[in-house]
Amino acid sequence: MANIKRKKGTIGILTGGGDVPGLNPAIRAITIRALREGYQVIGLKRGWAGAVGIIRDKKADNSRNYLTLTEEIVNRTGRTGGTFLHSSRTHPGHVAKESVPDHYKDKYKDEMNDMTPEVIKNLDFLGIDYLIPIGGDDTLSYGVHLFKQGFKVIAMPKTMDNDVPGTDYCIGFSTCVTRTIHMTNSLRTSAGSHERILVLEVFGRYAGFTAMLPTMAGAANRCVIPEYKFSMEHLTELLTADRNSNPSKYSIVLVSEGAMFDGGEMIFQDQERDAYGHAKLGGIGDMVSAKIKELSPKYNGGKALNTITQRLGYLVRGGDPDAVDSIVPMAYGNLALDLILSGIHGRLVVLKNGRYDNVPIDVVTSTKKFVNVEKHYNIDRLRPHYRSFEMQPQFIMTSD
């Protein structure tokens, strides 16, 4: 039974960037613990967009920007995927003229606008004492900025790429790896039936963890990652040999969306960029597939090999969280409340070497997290190293 206490303060929660399974369990964990400790909880909608868009008038309709959270609300969604608070890639420090909310258009007329002063006033208007942003390095980098402006922020790492610095684990990563393994194993039946090479494009803009772990687990023969520019000739030679030595005559490669081959660059769907300067990736898998077919006769007795290409993308992002992405968000939410109850802020809750902890929030912007190619990636075999696992973290190559 909830403890009936005098209201201690108000905690704000927001989710930014791409959706992942595990966000709703995190929101639920924070809310239930906070309410039972005597706090009010406000969910800001659409990430930082909700914090920007608030109308500071008690009579105004702010239903698009925030809602007060209750146990009933979060219990309905706590076991589901995605985020019921919705998300966006809004950067309040770089709001394009056309994206400035109507009630601010007379004040912010530049092509690009820093609306941080309004965000701080809006959070104050809501009476928010502590803010918990849940997101990747882009979302959390603005949380670091707010903290440096004097606001009380506790950050929670979330991204399928698992590349937020300072933590071994980001919400969403386990479900992504689990689904990638499952879908690869499902698609191998088609590859085997038609004796083809299966090319699967997976998430990973700058870091190749989502390609490395499934390959290490045996889902694929090879993987190519953003941290190492690979040779298409060498990849084709390896995959052709893999296919021809397989009794079922197929082989599989996982291709990180940010992977690049020698002489090439990242492949973008278009030139449109989000508020953090990122263009949408997509297409490297198709390019790799076409090049394999073109080059394969050289390594297959003059005969071209056909391929099957699939971009896993949102198939691994949607749906319910797995066990890890149900448990870790619960722990992260309670870690955040432990800090608040101790009057501590400016921290990132983390899972490090198998133990829950917290680190200074500015680790998010002070360093980057990539696959250590020398330690974990065999550039000759284009796949993870199999070396000693003793005293390694659970996900092997995810420690800084």
What value, to the nearest 5°, has the Cα angle with vertex 171 and ends 227 and 310? 55
Cα 309 to chain centroid distance, Å, stands at 23
Tokens of 356: 């829950």
Classify 383 as helix, strand or coil.
strand
**Alpha-helix runs per DSSP H in 195-323:** 209-216, 232-245, 284-295
Check if the beta carbon of residue 299 is closer than 8 Å to that of residue 237: yes
- Return phi, psi of residue 230, to 5°: -100, 160
Q: Are 167 and 347 in contact (CB under 8 A)?
A: no
DSSP 207: -
Cα separation, 183 vs 161, in Å, equals: 17
Q: Are the C-beta atoms of 226 and 208 separated by less than 8 Å? A: yes
CA dist 325 and 320 (Å) reads: 9
Are 85 and 45 contacting, i.e. CB atoms less than 8 angstroms apart?
A: yes
Quick one: residue 333, left, alpha or beta (phi over 0 = left, psi -120 to 50 = alpha)?
A: alpha
185 Cβ neighbours under 8 A, 6+ residues apart:
219
**Phi then psi dihedrals of residue 140, to 5 deg:** -75, -25
The residue annotated as part of the active site, out of 161, 163, 168, 325, is: 161
Alpha-carbon distance 226 to 205, whole Å?
7
Query: Is 362 considered catalytic here?
Result: no
139: left (phi over 0), alpha (psi -120 to 50) or beta: alpha
| Catalytic positions | 161
